[in-house]
Structure 1
Amino acid sequence: MEGSIQTLKYRAEEILEAMTLDEKLGMIHGNELFKTKGIPRLGIPPLVMSDGPMGVRAEFHPTKWITVGNTDDYVSYLPCNSAVAATWNRNLASRTGSVLGSEARGRRKDVILAPGINLKRSPLCGRNFEYFSEDPYLTSELATEYVKGVQRWDVAACLKHFALNHQETARLEVDEEIDDEVLRGLYLQVYKDVIDNANPYSIMVAYNKVNGEYCSQSKYLLNDILRKEWGYEGFVVSDWGAVHDTVEAAEADIDCEMSVTDDFDNYKFAEPLKEKILSGEVDEALIDKKVIRILILMLRLNMLDEDVMIRKDAAYNSFAARQDCLDIARGSVVLLKNEDSVLPLGRYNIKSKRILMIGENANRIHSNGGGSAEIKALYEISPLMGLSSRIGGAAEVTYLRGYASTLVENATPNGTNWQALSLEDGGGKTAEAEECENSVDEISPDAENGERVWKNISQYRKYLREEALAAVDDYDYVIFVGGLNHDIDSEGIDRRNIDLPYEQNELLEALLYKRPDTIVAMIGGGAVDMTRWLDKCKALIWMYYNGMEGGNALAEVILGDINPCGHLPETFYCKAEDSSALSVGDFGDEKLVHYREGFHIGYRHIYKEKIPVQFPFGYGISYSEFEIADPSYNTGRHAVRGKLLNKSGEDGAEIIQVYRLPDDIHDYLELVGFDKVYLRANSEIEFEVTVRDTIGVGKYAVGFNSADLIEI
């Protein structure tokens, strides 16, 4: 429904006049796990929500965390937000949002609970794979296009988690202590930028406290900043189970309470709120404001009877969506090392050769894990499937597991879905070492005939390691695929360190000693410590959880069908303690976390303190060789100009990054501009990258990552 916000408000107020108190209350709290109550006599439907951001989640029974189990909720599996950020490509971010919005509309959802735009303050956060980047500008630029893509389908995007949801440990209670200048100028600025540039129709409020106040009832965050200062007129929903106090939340500008329990009439915004209104403790006018904002959302989405016929229709699981998923995945693959031009293998070179793929992640599916990001994927191409199908019989591909995460199912108590238990024990924890290693007492690879039994998983891993090492000399090419999985990268769990789990280091050290030409590919939601073998590795690829076509994209990079162009959207530290969140501030405390590092997060801290890293923020190479020449700053156009040279025989793309150097106003390095430029082999092109407005003129530098810059 088109029209000004004032026009929508007038219409909402007219509808409100016909409502009873009970009908109003039904609209502002859950009546099912993902749905509010409608008002049929007024032509007002329920508001239906669903989790993102990697696809529309499976259907659950209305009151229980049990999936319905039909075949009509398989969906396209999108690359995670970190993968989208690794593309550094606004167009691909828009296409990501558009696929998600289309499929949400096709599944008859009104609000898709994505994207997550919290900054990657610490490399240990279990939900980092759901977030874009450690950098506010990269995050806001890509999230802006993502939101626009979602909302073109008459579906509301939902920015989350507002604000400072940077750890899973005790996420229901932890208090984030932060200076107001840093809160506003760094973490909240990302939200403001996306609100100003994309007009997201909804926002989700975080579980945690900020400076002593729960976000769900913070008048400072919601009333003063979001509503009054920013003028936000959109719908604000709680995270599931985030509301603590009926009166405090009613007086805060949050519009709807959702939770994980099925006692819907006992929600804080249900019978308890009705009692407070009837006793005069809460003014009904506060509820009217909430209902009006929900009605405005419905009008925007053409949900009401008089507008429903013009609401957009959309398909899901389309061929076009699969192509989008492949293109996004292709753009996100990051080549980190390629000494001696080990890559690409080339289709002609592998003809009639033998290829050995080692590593559990070569054959593992990731779409079904990670917490509320889990989905029921129509399909997911693993690296093993991607390579085997693309080679198409030209070469022999053999798979060996090489390492094991676990051979037992991690079932929740009594078979209960994890989300039903998500409000217990503070809502999250820091994983213990043994949890990451998934120790078990007894494992048998052949339980039926008892041929071999191991007393612990380390013994089994040793067997797998020796099996793989014994085989490598019989193959022309060796490819290792390892990294993390959603047992580690997950809602409700923070990592204790960035160590590479499951004894992969032991395998890789021995593997690279025997076969220095081994191609190493890592999959995960954030940095892992690869320093034990990194200097011995010649070819290294990084890939985030890359959606249904991730295995195909990785295979295309390895074979040379595409030229990789992804760049890291975060710093790959040598150890977690090198991040400012751990070395200067706090992370993972169950009561109080101090943001003492201020504005110096991620690469800003690394640049200031000159700390060595595995790979810097913004890093990525390709099969081409690029160079920047004659950079200059154009004051009138507020842009950096120069020439980009491709000095190789390969067509390719490069990310030109512009940084503002530290000065008296900003004492930190700051990304202020970026653009992806495509260039033919052995050619050059003039480029111009618009620079974000910042206080003061300042000095600028340009380069292909945050550590290798040319000062202008």
Structure 2
Amino acid sequence: MKENQLEELIGIMTLDEKIGMIHGNQLFQTKGIERLGIPPFISSDGPMGCRMDYKPASWQVIGQNYDYTSYLPSNTALAATWNPDISYETGKILGKEARGRGKDMILAPGINMMRTPLCGRSFEYMGEDPYLAAEMVVPLIQGIQENDIAACVKHFAVNSQETNRTTVNAIVDERTLQEIYFPAFKAAVQKGKAAAVMGAYNKLNGSYCCHNDYLLNEVLRKDWGFDGFVISDWGGVKDTVEAAFHGLDMEMSVTDNFDEYYMAAPLKKLVEEGKIPENIINDKVRNILRVMNRLNMLDGERKADSYNDTEDRIQLRKAAEESIVLLKNKQNILPLDEKKIKHILIVGDNGDRLHALGGGSAEIKALYEISPLLGMHMLLGGNVTIQYEPGYYTSVVGNVWDEGWQANSLEEDSAFWNREDSKNSERAEKNREYRQKALDAAKNADVVIYIGGLNHDYDVEGMDRRSLKLPYGQDTLILDLLSVRKDLIVVMMTGSPVDMSAWLDKTDTLVQTWYNGMEGGYALAEILFGKVNPSGKLPETFPMTLADTPACQSGISQDDKEIIYTEGVFIGYRHYDSNHIKPAFPFGFGLSYTDFSVTGGKSDWNRQKRHFR
């Protein structure tokens, strides 16, 4: 359909029909116009797979079994591959699965910069460097949109914290915006041709991002030439007039009073009273129709696509494999040789925890998820005894969220979000019991592998961490294990950096993995046993302590007023390099099992590493 035909459609629409297209009529759906052949527009979270389906007007899952889908590696994991081809292939799977589930737009990818490692949603983003994020997000979008489905990049802009996320005012200077926080979004729009952009909850320099004239009209439309549509984050709109004039095209929220949304009956009333010209509504409808037309939703042959395809699992395993980072291998303990091992001990809750059904809107119903324990069993077969001990007690189960949590997710300081590690007597007693079992078992195993880190009690939408310290008493457990087994292999599974200073200089073998999708546990086993050579590189700096981080002074605003980005452009490695601060591991760091030797000139530099098997 040509642009002039879209104008003809707009010309014969009633005001009610136009209003129905620009706000939610269900939690993830707008109204269609049946008489004109315009279908509803249907969205779905999220970045790690197409989310389960909910009832139209409540946050209750439908409860049927058709919406089990592929579980993808997190965006942080994708960024750690430093491989645009992996990003593209993963995007193709995400788009195909969303289209196969009957969606029109997937609410992904997230590309906010990791200003502080405390941010609860860092696992959804692509690290600290705008160039790396831009190079990885463009092919991801291109892969998604090959499937007649829109990619929606989020959250525009400077959504750097979850604490008071719906009220905090981020004060950021122009240079910092242009050099740090805008480039990945600009690339997503201009190179990736993203069909939609989602506004952030927070304010930027005094105005809410979902109807911020500078962000949406000046930068996005005028400077970057964006011709898709802008959608609010769910519940991100605060004012009808500002939403009408300042660049928002579609309002969504978490409540079921759809006709009372700011861009529903209140907007219609202002148009009828002549306070807002109807042409403003036409502009919004035109932007939405333009995207629908490109998706072949109006008169074209649209792709149907499928999901849970067997061949896609091979690609997702490859993505997981390439994301895992070897941080230390001083004694060449890795790769392990299964022919010389009879008894393996795995310690740590993440050794057998499943993560797909957690993290907030990133949650999905995974068709399956291979834990590290399962992956190890699958790889090694029946000739090796694999023992598992959790080692520490997690009284809060972050994988199973209360049904309907999202309806309350915009309430600041809600009790729901108060999920900090409690120090009650039950936890202390359980920890002692679990720790002792692990220490006793460690004395008799051929190999001891610790798999700990974080989970979606901490890497989670709506809540920031209060420190970089490992939860659940893990530092003490790791130190105790090291006192028994100097050859302990430590694996950290996290979505962002943790403070490892308590034991880092005492361990010789350290591996970083992520929320790595349905094949993540098997990929980790392959890395540990040398079936795959580790090639991942850190997409963010791992600091020694929180005090070393660039945003430490201004930090995270604990009130609902403002946070000033006093560090400016000096986030991530820019801060560490310019201030001569040594991190635990720098941005871009990652080892492999490869042997190599470099010689040349007057001086020879030789470096040997163990052969990759």
Match of 1:566 in 2: 536
Q: Which amino acid aligns with 2:82?
A: W
Partners in 1 of 2:52 and 2:435 — Cα distance?
A: 37
Q: Which amino acid aligns with 2:378?
A: S
| RMSD after superposition | 2.1
**Structure 1 residue 44 displacement after superposition:** 0.3
Q: Which amino acid aligns with 1:231?
A: G
Matches within 5 A, 1:642-657: 650=611
Match of 1:362 in 2: 351
Partners in 1 of 2:36 and 2:308 — Cα distance?
A: 34
Match of 2:507 in 1: 537
Partners in 1 of 2:380 and 2:610 — Cα distance?
A: 24
Partners in 1 of 2:511 and 2:24 — Cα distance?
A: 44
Work out whether 1:557 is the aligned partner of 2:527.
yes
Contact in 1 for aligned 2:356/2:366 (Cα 8 Å): yes
Work out whether 1:57 is the aligned partner of 2:51.
yes
Matches within 5 A, 1:290-301: 290-301=284-295
Q: Does the C-alpha gap of structure 1 residues 322 and 238 become closer, same or farther in structure 2, counting only changes over 3 Å?
A: same
**Structure 1 residue 650 displacement after superposition:** 4.2
Unaligned runs of 5+ in 1: 2-6, 441-454, 632-643, 653-712
Match of 1:692 in 2: none
Match of 1:104 in 2: 98
Q: Does the C-alpha gap of structure 1 residues 371 and 407 become closer, same or farther in structure 2, counting only changes over 3 Å?
A: closer
Partners in 2 of 1:650 and 1:475 — Cα distance?
A: 25
- The number of residue pairs the alignment matches comes to 610
**Structure 1 residue 217 displacement after superposition:** 1.4
Match of 2:208 in 1: 214
Q: Which amino acid aligns with 2:506?
A: K
**Structure 1 residue 625 displacement after superposition:** 3.7
Contact in 2 for aligned 1:82/1:132 (Cα 8 Å): yes
Q: Which amino acid aligns with 1:374?
A: E
- 1:513-568 deviations in Å (ceiling 9; x for gaps): 11011111110111111111111111111101000000000000111111111011
Match of 1:527 in 2: 497
Match of 1:418 in 2: 405
Partners in 2 of 1:255 and 1:112 — Cα distance?
A: 17
Matches within 5 A, 1:30-109: 30-109=24-103
Partners in 2 of 1:488 and 1:535 — Cα distance?
A: 25
Query: 1:331 is matched with which residue: 322, 326, 329?
Result: 322
- 1:275-327 deviations in Å (ceiling 9; x for gaps): 000001111100000000110011000001x21xx111211000121111100
Partners in 2 of 1:508 and 1:616 — Cα distance?
A: 23
Partners in 2 of 1:427 and 1:326 — Cα distance?
A: 37
Partners in 2 of 1:86 and 1:428 — Cα distance?
A: 34
Partners in 1 of 2:448 and 2:116 — Cα distance?
A: 33
Match of 1:141 in 2: 135
Match of 2:118 in 1: 124
Contact in 1 for aligned 2:21/2:285 (Cα 8 Å): yes
Match of 2:593 in 1: 623
Partners in 1 of 2:471 and 2:313 — Cα distance?
A: 32
- 1:150-191 deviations in Å (ceiling 9; x for gaps): 000011001100001000000000000011121123211221
What secondary structure is seen at the aligned counterpart in 2 of 1:404? Answer: coil
Contact in 2 for aligned 1:586/1:594 (Cα 8 Å): no
Partners in 1 of 2:162 and 2:143 — Cα distance?
A: 29
Contact in 1 for aligned 2:358/2:399 (Cα 8 Å): no
Query: 1:577 is matched with which residue: 547, 556, 560?
Result: 547
Matches within 5 A, 1:450-465: 455-465=425-435
**Structure 1 residue 584 displacement after superposition:** 5.6
Work out whether 1:248 is the aligned partner of 2:225.
no
Partners in 2 of 1:150 and 1:524 — Cα distance?
A: 25
Partners in 2 of 1:645 and 1:13 — Cα distance?
A: 68
Q: Does the C-alpha gap of structure 1 residues 463 and 586 become closer, same or farther in structure 2, counting only changes over 3 Å?
A: closer
Q: Does the C-alpha gap of structure 1 residues 532 and 14 become closer, same or farther in structure 2, counting only changes over 3 Å?
A: same
**Structure 1 residue 48 displacement after superposition:** 0.3
Match of 1:280 in 2: 274
Q: Which amino acid aligns with 2:387?
A: T
Percent of residue pairs bearing the same amino acid type: 49
**Structure 1 residue 427 displacement after superposition:** 8.0
- 1:24-43 deviations in Å (ceiling 9; x for gaps): 00000000000000000000
Q: Identify, as 1 or 2, the structure richer in strand.
A: 1
Contact in 1 for aligned 2:530/2:612 (Cα 8 Å): no
User: Normalized against structure 1, the TM-score is what?
Assistant: 0.83
Query: 1:343 is matched with which residue: 334, 344, 347?
Result: 334
Contact in 2 for aligned 1:169/1:427 (Cα 8 Å): no
Partners in 1 of 2:278 and 2:396 — Cα distance?
A: 56
Match of 1:510 in 2: 480
Partners in 2 of 1:365 and 1:410 — Cα distance?
A: 7
User: Normalized against structure 2, the TM-score is what?
Assistant: 0.96
Match of 1:15 in 2: 9
Q: Does the C-alpha gap of structure 1 residues 407 and 177 become closer, same or farther in structure 2, counting only changes over 3 Å?
A: closer
Matches within 5 A, 1:638-677: 650=611
- 1:110-155 deviations in Å (ceiling 9; x for gaps): 0100000000000000000000110000000000010000000011
Work out whether 1:476 is the aligned partner of 2:476.
no
What secondary structure is seen at the aligned counterpart in 2 of 1:479? Answer: strand
Partners in 2 of 1:630 and 1:595 — Cα distance?
A: 45
Q: Which amino acid aligns with 2:84?
A: R
Matches within 5 A, 1:178-217: 178-217=172-211
Partners in 2 of 1:646 and 1:317 — Cα distance?
A: 44
Match of 1:603 in 2: 573
